[in-house]
């Protein structure tokens, strides 16, 4: 058998070699290669013609060779280009054969995102909606179709609407606390914080966007939900290969091939779930004033009655795509940010202590010891500083993207950005530029005091983007983050454990910068049982830890005096009384 195969292979190879020396075939190969070479490099003179500073491209790869062969991450590529021209407002590079313009100057960024937004409406990612339903979602739709859909969905994310979801979100975070509590009793070597917060965020979007109680944290019944959300957010080899690789080189061929790049089962699953929600709500006259209701109203206005569609056609799939997008965009992002934040709090206990003190005092001030209320959430300035610093240091998306939808004369420069030009705004690099953030690798919430913020130009802090196309879920994400952090810190002390990776290493997955070894995943959460009497007072274990350190530390008192100013007098008095009453 083997001999037969080998003799066949030899014949085949010698036939091919003969072909190669056939003058006609050789000629055809040379013509094709020349044509291909010309096609792949024909765009490479764009930036030199326009006198834009740029990185010299190499055939086929442009400037992304290192990234394509795995020698650098996407964020490193953009950072390399950003630092290559430190004085330039804009610079050019080539992603394979496509010329990109990087906007470096914060003032220009601000103008493009906000004042001159009408010239840069689109994200500029072309995904054929007939092969991937996500092409219909808000993130990927363009022009007028995006504008109308965004107007319809915006009302679901206003502060007033979100207030209506506090209770739902709070119930989910309570489940999280119970889970951590049980888990930390059973597992003493650390809690997989990131994993359980991911489940929590699925529950939160489930309740807010679908009006469903999923309880992913506790039950394995929701394997379907977990499975299909994962399919939406996990890297999809087919999508990367056909859409991003071949699609960049031969967009027309890929359009013709119509290869499905999204899991059809996931689409069908979300479709049937959303249908059930619609049927249930219609039948039972449920009007919950939540995001699900906003989606249903959009369906009524744009699909069923097709009023105010400005000539655009919408169908049921457009609505389902957005429900799916909320899961894809609203779960991993919040979970990763919350986990990074807890990681930093675990290794910076002074920040953890100060934050807990603020949470405790705000709870008492606003009577939110049992049920968190709106006044409490709005009175957490230090928590906002800590969250902003997390969003800066752990910028999830390396860049923002835009495409010029009209010709645009760059103010103060002799260059016109042509209609169709793709633009990159290097978020990560700006958030880590020592010019705006000295010692950028240090976690320092003080960068976000009002005074420090006023020293930086607009356009230097954009974790959610900016302007009319900024992240629609920004308020929801901030609300979730405050709730998650304040609930956890009120009940647990967070410490690094053996599995915690210090410092963290990173990778880029699905365009999102994530920790490589899930190193921020494992943290120790402790709630010593003997602290419960103090927990009654403060709903926190902070006092217990200080109290313990007082007990065991020969210099006791010193630490207490040091931390005293962090507490408002009311709390400090109770604390002292507790110690005086014999706990010391």
Annotated binding residues for heme, written as ranges, equal 471
Distance CA 69, CA 494 (A): 39
Q: How far is the CB of 124 from ligand HEM (least distance, A)?
A: 10
484 binds ligand HEM per the rule CB under 6 A: no
**Is 146 within 8 Å of 302 (Cβ atoms)?**
no
Rule CB under 6 A: choose which of 355, 471, 479, 579 binds ligand HEM: 471
Query: Could you say whether residue 477 binds ligand HEM (CB under 6 A)?
Result: yes
Q: How far is the CB of 402 from ligand HEM (least distance, A)?
A: 7
Which residue lies nearer to ligand HEM by CB, 477 or 494?
A: 477
d(CA 40, CA 246): 12
Q: Does 106 bind ligand HEM (CB under 6 A)?
A: no
Determine, following the binding rule CB under 6 A, whether residue 387 of this chain makes contact with ligand HEM.
Answer: no
320 near ligand HEM (CB under 6 A): no
Least CB distance to ligand HEM at residue 581 (A)? 43
Candidates 72-80, 227-235, 396-404, 558-566: pick the segment binding ligand HEM (CB under 6 A). Answer: 396-404
The only residue of 40, 329, 372, 383 in contact with ligand HEM, by rule CB under 6 A: 329
DSSP state of 497: -
Q: Is the dihedral of CA 487, 489, 490, 492 positive or negative?
A: positive
The verdict on 476 binding ligand HEM (CB under 6 A) reads: yes
Nearer to ligand HEM, 55 or 302 (CB): 302
The span from the CA of 154 to the CA of 294, in Å, is 9
Report how far residue 301's alpha carbon sits from residue 310's, in angstroms, rounded to the nearest whole number. 12
Among 78, 82, 464, 538, binds ligand HEM (CB under 6 A): 464
Counting contacts by CB under 6 A, is residue 396 touching ligand HEM?
yes
Q: Nearer Cβ to ligand HEM, position 100 or 575?
A: 100
Of 135, 465, 496, 519, the one binding ligand HEM by CB under 6 A? 465
Q: Which is nearer to ligand HEM, 399 or 541 (CB)?
A: 399
Q: Look up residue 51 and give its two tokens.
A: 């006198």
Rounded-to-integer distance, Cα 573 and Cα 56, Å: 66
Stretch that binds ligand HEM, among 1-9, 20-28, 406-414, 467-475 (CB under 6 A): 467-475
CA neighbor of 206 nearest in space, from 274, 140, 125, 122: 274
Residues 396 and 463: beta-carbon distance below 8 Å: yes
Looking at beta carbons only, is 425 or 527 nearer to ligand HEM? 425
Please, are residues 28 and 15 in contact by the beta-carbon 8 Å criterion? Answer: no
* Known binding residues: 471
Q: Could you tell me which stretch among 185-193, 213-221, 328-336, 412-420 binds ligand HEM (CB under 6 A)?
A: 328-336
Nearer to ligand HEM, 46 or 161 (CB): 161
Q: Does 323 bind ligand HEM (CB under 6 A)?
A: no
Among 549, 459, 531, residue whose Cα is nearest residue 104: 459
Q: Before 503, cis peptide (omega within 30)?
A: yes
Judged by CB under 6 A, the stretch of 26-34, 244-252, 324-332, 359-367 that binds ligand HEM is: 324-332
Q: Which is nearer to ligand HEM, 329 or 430 (CB)?
A: 329
Q: Rule CB under 6 A: say whether 469 interacts with ligand HEM.
A: yes
**Residue 244 in tokens:** 């991003």
Q: Is 325 in the site for ligand HEM (CB under 6 A)?
A: yes
Q: Distances in Å between the alpha carbon of 210 and those of 101, 135, 188, 275, 327? A: 39, 21, 36, 10, 10
By CB under 6 A, residue 210 contacts ligand HEM: no
75 binds ligand HEM (CB under 6 A): no
Q: In b/e form, how buried is each residue of 412-443, taking b as 16+ CB within 10 angstroms? A: eeeeebeeebbbbbbbbbbbbbeebbeebeeb
- Of 285, 396, 392, 387, the residue nearest 345 (C-alpha): 387
Q: Which is nearer to ligand HEM, 67 or 204 (CB)?
A: 204
Nearest to ligand HEM of 340, 575 (CB atom): 340
Buried/exposed 518-552: b ≥16 CB within 10 Å, e otherwise: bbbbbbbbbbeeebeebbebbbbbbbbbbbeebee
- Per CB under 6 A, the segment of 2-10, 184-192, 333-341, 349-357 that binds ligand HEM is 333-341
Question: Nearest distance from residue 464's CB to ligand HEM, in Å?
Answer: 5
Q: To the nearest whole angstrom, how small is the minimum distance from the Cβ of residue 135 to ligand HEM? A: 13
178's tokens: 């119970």
Interatomic CA distance for residues 82 and 437, integer angstroms: 15
Q: Does 461 bind ligand HEM (CB under 6 A)?
A: no
Q: CB under 6 A: which stretch of 4-12, 192-200, 310-318, 466-474 binds ligand HEM?
A: 466-474
Q: What mask, x for binding ligand HEM by CB under 6 A, covers residues 346 to 385?
A: ----------------------------------------
Collapsed DSSP state (helix, strand, coil) of residue 564: helix
- Of 211, 473, 496, 519, which lies in the binding site for ligand HEM, with binding defined by CB under 6 A? 473
Residues 550 and 560 sit within 8 Å (Cβ to Cβ): yes
> How many residues interact with ligand HEM (rule CB under 6 A)?
24
- Phi first, then psi: what are they for 457, rounded to 5°? -70, 155
For residues 494 and 346, the answer to whether their CB atoms sit within 8 Å is: yes
- What span, in angstroms and rounded, lies between the C-alpha atoms of 290 and 209? 7
In the complex, the residues that contact ligand HEM under the rule CB under 6 A are: 138-139, 150, 205, 325-326, 329-330, 333-334, 337, 396-397, 400, 463-465, 469-473, 476-477
């Amino acid at each position: 058998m083997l001999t037969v195969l080998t003799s066949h292979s030899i014949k085949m190879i010698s036939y091919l070699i003969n072909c190669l020396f056939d003058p006609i075939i050789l000629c055809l190969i040379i013509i094709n290669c020349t044509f291909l070479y010309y096609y792949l490099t024909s765009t490479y003179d764009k930036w030199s013609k326009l006198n834009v500073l740029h990185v010299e491209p190499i055939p086929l790869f442009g400037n992304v060779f290192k990234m394509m062969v795995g020698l650098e991450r996407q964020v490193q590529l953009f950072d390399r280009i950003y630092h290559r021209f430190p004085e330039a407002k804009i610079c050019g590079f080539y992603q394979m054969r496509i010329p990109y313009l990087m906007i470096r100057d914060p003032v220009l960024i601000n103008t493009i995102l906000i004042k001159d937004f009408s010239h840069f409406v689109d994200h500029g990612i072309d995904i054929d909606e007939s092969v991937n339903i996500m092409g219909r979602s808000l993130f990927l739709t363009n022009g007028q179709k995006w504008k109308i859909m965004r107007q319809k969905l915006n009302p679901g994310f206003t502060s007033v609407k979100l207030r209506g979801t506090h209770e739902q979100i709070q119930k989910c975070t309570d489940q999280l606390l119970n889970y951590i509590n049980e888990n930390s009793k059973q597992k003493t070597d650390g809690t997989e914080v990131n994993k359980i917060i991911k489940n929590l965020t699925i529950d939160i979007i489930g309740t807010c966007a679908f009006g469903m109680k999923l309880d992913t944290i506790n039950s394995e019944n929701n394997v379907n939900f977990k499975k299909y959300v994962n399919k939406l957010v996990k890297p999809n080899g087919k999508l990367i290969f056909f859409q991003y690789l071949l699609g960049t080189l031969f967009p027309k061929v890929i359009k013709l091939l119509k290869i499905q790049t999204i899991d059809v089962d996931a689409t069908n699953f979300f479709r049937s779930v959303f249908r059930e929600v619609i049927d249930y709500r219609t039948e039972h006259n449920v009007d919950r004033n939540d995001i699900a209701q906003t989606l249903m109203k959009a369906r009524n206005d744009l699909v069923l009655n097709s009023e105010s569609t400005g000539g655009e056609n919408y169908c049921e799939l457009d609505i389902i795509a957005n429900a799916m997008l909320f899961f894809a965009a609203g779960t991993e992002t919040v979970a990763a940010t919350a986990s990074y934040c807890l990681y930093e709090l675990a290794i910076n206990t002074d920040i953890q202590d100060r934050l807990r003190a603020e949470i405790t005092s705000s709870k008492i001030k606003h009577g939110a010891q049992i049920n968190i209320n709106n006044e409490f959430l709005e009175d957490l300035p230090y928590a906002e500083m800590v969250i902003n610093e997390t969003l800066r240091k752990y910028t999830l998306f390396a860049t923002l993207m835009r495409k010029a939808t009209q010709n645009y004369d760059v103010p103060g420069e002799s260059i016109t950005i042509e209609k169709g030009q793709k633009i990159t705004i290097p978020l990560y690099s700006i958030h880590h530029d020592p010019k705006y953030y000295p010692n950028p690798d240090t976690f320092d919430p003080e960068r976000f005091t009002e005074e420090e913020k006023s020293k930086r130009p607009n356009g230097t802090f954009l974790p959610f983007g900016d302007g009319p196309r900024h992240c629609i879920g920004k308020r929801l994400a901030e609300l979730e983050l405050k709730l998650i952090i304040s609930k956890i810190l009120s009940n647990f002390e967070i410490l690094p454990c053996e599995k915690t990776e210090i410092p963290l290493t990173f990778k880029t997955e699905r365009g999102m910068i994530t920790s490589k070894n899930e190193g921020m995943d494992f943290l120790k959460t402790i709630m010593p049982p003997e602290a419960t009497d103090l927990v009654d007072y403060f709903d926190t274990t902070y006092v217990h830890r200080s109290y313990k350190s007082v007990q065991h530390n020969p210099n006791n008192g010193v630490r207490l005096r040091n931390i005293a100013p962090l507490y408002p007098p009311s709390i400090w008095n109770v604390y002292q009384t507790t110690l005086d009453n014999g706990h010391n």
